[in-house]
A and B are shown apart, each in its own frame.
Chain A
Amino acid sequence: MMKGLKKWRLFSLLTVMTVFLSACGEDYLSTLRPAGAVGKEQLNILLLSIVIMALVVVVVSTIYLVAFFKFRRAKLGENHMPKQVEGSHTLEVIWTVIPIILLLILAVPTLNSTYKFADVAAMDEVDEAGNKTALTVNVTAKLYWWEFEYPDLGIITAQELVVPTGEKVYFNLIASDVKHSFWIPSVGGKMDTNVDGINKFYLQFDKESVGLNDGEGVFYGKCAELCGPSHALMDFKVKALEPAAFDAWVAAMKATEGQTASADSADVGEAAFANSCIGCHAVSAVAGSGVGPNLTTFGDRNRLAGFMEHSVEETTNWIMDPEKYKPGNTMTGKYNVSPEEAKAISEYLMKLTVEK
């Protein structure tokens, strides 16, 4: 076969694949529509491997179909006796060498990217003033929610990760109960959160999340490792903001220092929250890690519990019976509130915001 023809085939196959695959899935969730450097590189490897693999499948299937249609007994006659061939060294060498070459083509970017994605040396770099140059987020996976702590900024949030665009964001990953896995498909590959020790990796967010999914404005994150009954419901959301907006968000988060719910408040919801919920849920982003998700940004959130509609009504239902919505969660049975209190708490929670 001519070399030019082969190249042309490869190119057109690649084009068709790109067009076909990029039509697949939603841009806030699909690995085929990456919004960051890591995801883009992974998509490129995907395309390269798909092209090689598709070539293999096409070549094998062609030889196979030709062999099948050419040598059917129905065509050759019932008594046809084929030659009893033992084998062919030449052919065997050919189909040993060709796969080796194909695999070498794939192995080079594999090794390259493996080392590149594992390089977290920049995590600890500091500038002249001794401040960390890179943004680090500590991710703690719990049954069935996510805690995001920014150790160098002294703030903490849960369920919705907020990151700046255009720079590498480094993650320290750990699980506090059973193993989970941290995955934002449209931004880059996953990493397990083990119970035994911290895993480190980085992602880069090149696209702002604002305007995604008809104005919902978040990337979707998933838990990828089976972690119990509510594994499927352990979703989180990611807001990627341009650096200025991110800095503003950080400042607003820091400003919540000392914020708390008062049991004497005129707001019935706040008072009820102070009586029943504050033991587990903080309402200040500077409060440190708590038993339950930090609720400082509750009013800014996109979803309740990662997947439910973010409304007073649903929040009330959730408070009354979390087990019904997330079986096996650790919140059920830890408090006692009346339906009226639950509704008041929900209304209070909706007012907890740093963005508006």
Chain B
Amino acid sequence: MSSVTQKKGFGAHVWDYLTTVDHKKIAIMYLAAGTLFFAIAGFEALLMRIQLMFPESDFISAGLFNELLTMHGTTMLFLAATPIIFAFMNAIVPLQIGARDVAFPFLNSLGFWLFFLGAVFLHLSFFLGGAPDAGWTSYASLSLYSPGHGIDFYILGLQISGAGTLISGINFIVTIITMRAPGMTFMRMPLFTWTSLVSSSLILFAFPPLTGGLFLMLVDRMFGANFFDHTMGGNTIIWEHLFWIFGHPEVYILVLPAFGLFSEIIPVFARKRLFGYSSMVFATILIGFLGFMVWAHHMFTVGLGATANAIFAVATMAIAVPTGMKVFNWILTIWGGSIKVTVPMLYALGFIPSFVAGGVTGVMQATAPLDYQLHDSYFIVAHFHYVIVGGIVTALFGSAHFYWPIMFNRALNPKLGALTFWVFFIGFHLTFFIQHFLGLMGMPRRVFTYMGGQGWDLFNFISTIGAIMMGIGVVLLVIDVLLSIKSEPVNKRDYWGDGRSLEWAIETPLPFYNFKQTPLVRGYDPYWIEKEEGNKEGMVYAEPLGEIHMPNNSILPLIMSIGTFIAAFGALYSPWGDQAQAGATHASPAVSLALIIGGLGLTIGCMIARSFKDDLGFHVTVAEIEAIESDLAHYRATGKKGGNK
């Protein structure tokens, strides 16, 4: 690191990414991995929609369809939306709070590798004898009944990946609480940082129930335990509770940062301060809290009784109030502003009505007696896609355009971006609006086929056309990204001209230590304040130029993750459980034990090695900082390399 003008070959670059603890590089890895899984899950969705385009179609088989619907849901929520949210949290949160990295850079890397190897493990199921097929909810009676190893892949893959998510969540809580620049009080934190904090806290409380539930199911399947086997005194409803105690907050884990991203985009392109900042913060916390209290609204038809249903119905409706506050605050931010319709703003503008539509159907389902009709019908499919695509995916696409200059020092093409938006947005409404009616007309969800003449044929056909348009939209976005590689570097601060928070105050490309001097935050929207006062430097500093302490790179997180990955194979092919007795492929006890002990041993060995090594990081001297800064300035002026990268 100390050698500024070091030249690197391809192998060195790969090694750099495998060992990096730099939050900006981890962000890029999260973005790349998340996009890969987003594409896979989107392709799965397209296959399902093609199957449902016509009644009694035999494009794909019933068994494969169930695998696709399971993997589509699981991948989209755990392996696409979550990592892409983490990509933006990693890329932006440290910059927004004026930090040089996250609190635990080593854990940040470990979180990524666990997520990634867990995701790879889950996807290997397609090649190793069948993917999970019991839905992303994996309800216990069906998942215990499911033959083969599909469900084992689900349990083990999510367990590993979930550990990564939990680690990352804790990391962000600590980072945001302890690493804010001087002057950045809690009530001066940008909304995206706020929502990241609340979302990370939700991760902290929501993932352990999932971990526990997955563990019980793992023991059921691996060793023939009977936590969920009702014939042996187990109870399948407990799985439903455990799953939804995790599963409902999960939606808010994803959508709150999406709200935060829009709260960054809208003020910039309205050239106006976010309206009602304190009520936005309050609403975020309230949504986070209520998000935990309402899991049983997924279980109105399970038979919990009238009182439980009534309580959960009213509690669920209450969420509409803080969410409504947010929507009005966004609109009032636009009101009286000066709106510039850029690509990120297009997504924000498209988001507001789409999300309101998704939100109000949520209130309809909260109405328990009405939910008896809506539950498990296509109405539900329409509702949650309105929330997840209309809320989260638009946020991710919009933010990709918004933050591309900071993350890659390149801009995406605005014309292609607008085209992508319109194709995707129209396709999205075409696909899902009509599904509300399919549900009301009696079509259950998760069906691989339907008989003709039940009044569903035309609507299903239209829905598929919409899905194809969404697919084309995503392909256009990928083309846009590929074109941006060859485009001119941005080389400036405040790409959009109206940036308000700290991340816009640094000139791109960013040095690896972010801020050469920690900024002093003098109010909400600190960079805007400096611009108002005509500060050409961008910031006021809280410290003189001095040595910067940075963490060392490490390969250990990757090796630790590989250890769990190996152990998971041992558990998967365990010879002791019901699956093995029922004839599913299994390893000999010796091989299985060797894999489990060897894999976990590798992981634990790395932990021991790490705990014995006093890794204090390194210091960047003032001379080195000056050299890096002058190299970067040289690069920005001439476009010639010679910088630290």
Contact = CB atoms under 8 A, between A and B. Distances in A.
A203 to B, nearest CB: 10
Nearest to A230: B62
Contacts of B437: 24-25
A106 interface: yes
B546 interface: no
Contacts of A72: 338-341
Interface in B338-365: 338-341, 349, 352-353, 356-357, 360-361, 363-364
A134 interface: no
Nearest to B371: A189
Interface in A287-322: 307
Nearest to B524: A86
B161 interface: no
A29 B141 contact: no
Given A53-B361, A118-B309, A88 B276 contact: yes
A64 B353 contact: yes
Interface string B289-323: 00000000000011101100110011001101100
| B236, B270, B275, B444 interface centre (most CB from chain A within 10 Å) | B444
Contacts of A154: none
Nearest to A91: B332
Contact of B279 (A49, A92, A235): A92
B372 A117 contact: yes
A273 interface: no
B356 A82 contact: no
A231 to B, nearest CB: 6
Contacts of B145: 177-178, 228
B589 interface: no
Nearest to A232: B447
Interface of B: 61-63, 66, 69, 133-135, 139, 141-142, 145-146, 230, 235-237, 270-273, 275-279, 301-303, 305-306, 309-310, 313-314, 317-318, 320-321, 324-325, 327-329, 331-332, 334-341, 349, 352-353, 356-357, 360-361, 363-364, 366-373, 375-377, 437, 440-442, 444-451, 454-455
Contacts of A225: 139, 376
A115 interface: yes
B301 A190 contact: yes
A71 B270 contact: yes
B139 A328 contact: no
Given A29-B455, A49-B363, A232 B450 contact: yes
B336 A85 contact: yes
Interface stretch (A3-11, A194-202, A238-246): A194-202
A204 interface: no
A338 interface: no
A188 interface: yes
A189 B442 contact: no
A109 B314 CA distance: 11
Contacts of A63: 331, 335
A171 to B, nearest CB: 11
A64 B270 contact: no
A106 B367 contact: yes
Contacts of A73: 271, 338-340
Contact of A195 (B63, B135, B230, B446): B230
A71 B337 CA distance: 6
B440 A32 contact: yes
Given A24-B437, A110-B310, 11 more contacts: A29-B441, A29-B442, A39-B373, A71-B270, A71-B338, A73-B271, A96-B321, A96-B325, A118-B309, A226-B66, A228-B66
Interface in A324-341: 327-328
A87 B277 contact: yes
A85 to B, nearest CB: 6
B436 to A, nearest CB: 10
B306 A61 contact: no
A7 B421 CA distance: 38
A179 B230 CA distance: 11
Contacts of B134: 226
B309 to A, nearest CB: 5
B356 A87 contact: no
A96 B276 CA distance: 13
B270 A82 contact: yes
Contacts of B135: 226
A82 B370 contact: no
Contacts of A57: 353, 356-357, 360
A227 B395 CA distance: 34
A178 B329 CA distance: 47
Nearest to A198: B303
26 contacts: A24-B440, A26-B454, A45-B369, A46-B364, A61-B353, A70-B335, A71-B335, A71-B337, A72-B338, A72-B339, A73-B338, A82-B272, A83-B272, A84-B273, A91-B332, A110-B367, A117-B369, A181-B376, A190-B372, A192-B302, A224-B444, A224-B445, A228-B66, A229-B61, A232-B62, A307-B451
A50 B276 contact: no
Contacts of A70: 335
A86 B277 contact: yes
A110 B220 CA distance: 39
A258 B310 CA distance: 48
B283 to A, nearest CB: 9
Contact of B272 (A85, A179, A200): A85
A53 B364 contact: yes
Nearest to A46: B370
A211 B376 CA distance: 29
A39 to B, nearest CB: 8
